[in-house]
Structure 1
Amino acid sequence: MRSTRYLAAVCTAVVAVVATLILAVSTGEADADPIETRSEQTYNVWLQNIAGWKMHRASTTNGLVAAVTASIRNRDADFVAFNEMCRQQYNAIIGELRAAGWPQDSTNFARFGAVRSDVCDGQDFGNAIFSRDPLGNAERLPLPDDGSVADHTVLCAPLQVQPTVRFCTTHITTSNEVIDGVKANQRQLDAANVHMEDYHRAGETVIIAGDFNAQPNYGRMNGWYSANLDTPNNSDNTGYYRELDDDDEQHCLGYGEPTVGVGDPPGQCVPEKKIDMIFVRENRIVGDYWADALAISQNCGGPCSDHKILIGQVTVAV
């Protein structure tokens, strides 16, 4: 659910200087372009694993396309990420969003990253990103092999008009198979994190939304979550990133709201099955941020997915 972060007021110039030094240490190496010199931009992010083959068998006429495109428009999304999407559904959603006038450039607002080609009635199956603003060239950054036929990647593209801002998605494997002494899912999470840090060192601000197939309090996520995040429900973190639902005091502070299943009632903290996440590097966030998991639409002859839509908003230094 949407929540409010209460930031301590900085009362003196001395405290401000000390806080700045602490932030520089806690968020890694100093930026070549300090955050103070950057402009700010607020983005609305929309994410869903649509189970495009498992639940829909690549259908574009069973209500799924209409449901997701209506939600994207209703939530005023700037960035959209899909996981488990068939190419047929990708093309249909492009058509619907184009017809609705959602993109600023109707010829340049979507990118697809194939993961496998043995499902979806012979067409590609994978991940996709959509942007209200025109996109630059996409990169499909490889992740370590998980021993399956899937070709896991991180799919990213910068904004054409603001190339220091990049939007990404990924779908991490569920495999626990040990390869070279490390579990496949841990290897992929670590590699995806390295890709994000490479962009950061290049001076870019990245928003990544995807199905991480790990709950926030799992040890393999510690390298993602900021070391400054330490709650009973999410501790021992060593990373630099905040997940946009990690300040959710109404559900579970440090963890957020479940995105798979019916979820927990408001006011209770029952960490369970949150695997869809939106991350931004902590030292790129300006002010408050929030995320919310929406009820699963029933307009597909039944549920439209086994994952909730996750929406969020963040202001970043660009």
Structure 2
Amino acid sequence: MVSSALTALTVPGTAKASTSAESYTVWHWNVAGNTLNHGSATNGMVRAAVASIVARGASFVSFNELCINQYQALVTGLRNAGWPADGANFARFVVTYPATSGGPCSGKDYGNAIFSKQPLGAAERISLPDDGKTEKRKMLCAPLEARPRLRFCSTHTTYVDAYRSSQLNAVLRKLEAYHANGDTVVIAGDFNLQPNSARLDGYYSSTLNTPNNRGNTGRYRELDDADPNDCPGYGELTVSTPDSKGACGTGTKLDMIFAREDKITGTYSGDSLAPPTTCATNPGGLCSDHRVLLGAVTLS
């Protein structure tokens, strides 16, 4: 069942004490900014997002499928709500489909975004292997200005099956390069695969071994991967309309928040939030075909 509260969990055998550990709340949403919201910044989606970010006390925020005017409205809305500590330096955008006549978002730029309650440093915009589509998939990362070894990233990888592995591998290589450089990284996004896909075995830690997700060889934990009440190893659905799919038949999960397990201190948790239904211009008022994914983690 999708809950509104976070369940705290401990990384088995991997938690490490750290005097510099800090706790963070991560908020991610694929908002279908063009597909469902038709590029509108005034139909209720932006308002619902701002209200949720503030109410949930988010530290980091990730958006997929966002139109540039929606991004600008989010910047204004979050600033007016008093959410960022520095209203001038808390948001970054990456274009995946540039403005063009006949393109998405009524011809405006389209892409992904990250926001941070604390000021951000310079962003890095990494191109992923080309999948042959007009939209060029990217990975967007930025460090905290005051803690430059802590980076937050967002990505939205391809649905084109022949290119899934190459894009996922490129993202993982970049995460590991950051780690080798001494950085702690959290990444959120729509990975267009379910957690029990073999293509994600290199992400999920080998310490994660459940009937719903096994054979893993990686070093990362997904913040909703160990809740004993919601398909352990898989997590809660992130599509807006419940279905009978997923490892436990409780719904499809495509959105994830990963952190390297050796950087996690103590407990971590995840939750899938029911989507807002206040976007009157959309069928059923649904503001997106995805749910918000919320995670809490303490990182060294």
Verify same fold: TM over 0.5.
yes
Paired amino acid for 2:145? Q
Paired amino acid for 2:90? F
TM-score by length of 1: 0.86
How many angstroms does 1:37 deviate by?
5.9
Does residue 112 of the first structure (1) align with residue 116 of the second (2)? no
Partner of 2:82: 101
How many angstroms does 1:273 deviate by?
1.3
How large is the Cα RMSD of the aligned pairs?
1.8
Deviations 1:161-208 (A, max 9, x none): 0001000000000001xxxxxx20111001100000000001000010
Does residue 144 of the first structure (1) align with residue 163 of the second (2)? no
Partner of 1:39: 20
Partner of 2:178: 199
Which moved further from structure 2: 254-263 or 125-134?
254-263
SS at match of 2:268: strand
Partner of 1:30: none
- 1:168-317 mapped onto 2 (5 Å cutoff): 168-176=153-161, 183-263=162-242, 269-270=248-249, 272-301=251-280, 302-317=285-300
- The separation in 2 between residues aligned to 1:283 and 1:262, in whole angstroms, is 35
- The separation in 1 between residues aligned to 2:275 and 2:85, in whole angstroms, is 28
- Give percent identity, aligned residues only: 49
- The separation in 2 between residues aligned to 1:247 and 1:36, in whole angstroms, is 20
Partner of 1:159: 144
- In structure 1, which of residues 69, 74, 90 is the aligned counterpart of residue 50 of structure 2? 69
Unmatched 5+ residue regions in structure 2? none
- The separation in 2 between residues aligned to 1:312 and 1:37, in whole angstroms, is 20
How many angstroms does 1:5 deviate by?
3.0
Unmatched 5+ residue regions in structure 1? 9-18, 25-34, 177-182
Retained in 2: the 8 A contact 1:170–1:212?
yes
Indicate the structure whose relative CO is greater, using CA pairs within 8 Å and at least 6 residues apart: 2
- The separation in 2 between residues aligned to 1:155 and 1:279, in whole angstroms, is 14
- Count the aligned residue pairs: 286
Deviations 1:106-142 (A, max 9, x none): 1100000110023212211000000000000000112
How many angstroms does 1:38 deviate by?
5.2
Stretches of 4+ aligned residues off by more than 6 angstroms: none
- The separation in 2 between residues aligned to 1:63 and 1:47, in whole angstroms, is 17
Retained in 1: the 8 A contact 2:10–2:268?
no
- The separation in 1 between residues aligned to 2:76 and 2:254, in whole angstroms, is 29
Rg larger for: 1
Paired amino acid for 2:197? Y
SS at match of 1:69: helix
Q: 1:7 to 1:237 in 2, by over 3 A?
A: closer
Paired amino acid for 1:39? S
Retained in 1: the 8 A contact 2:96–2:111?
yes
- The separation in 2 between residues aligned to 1:151 and 1:158, in whole angstroms, is 23
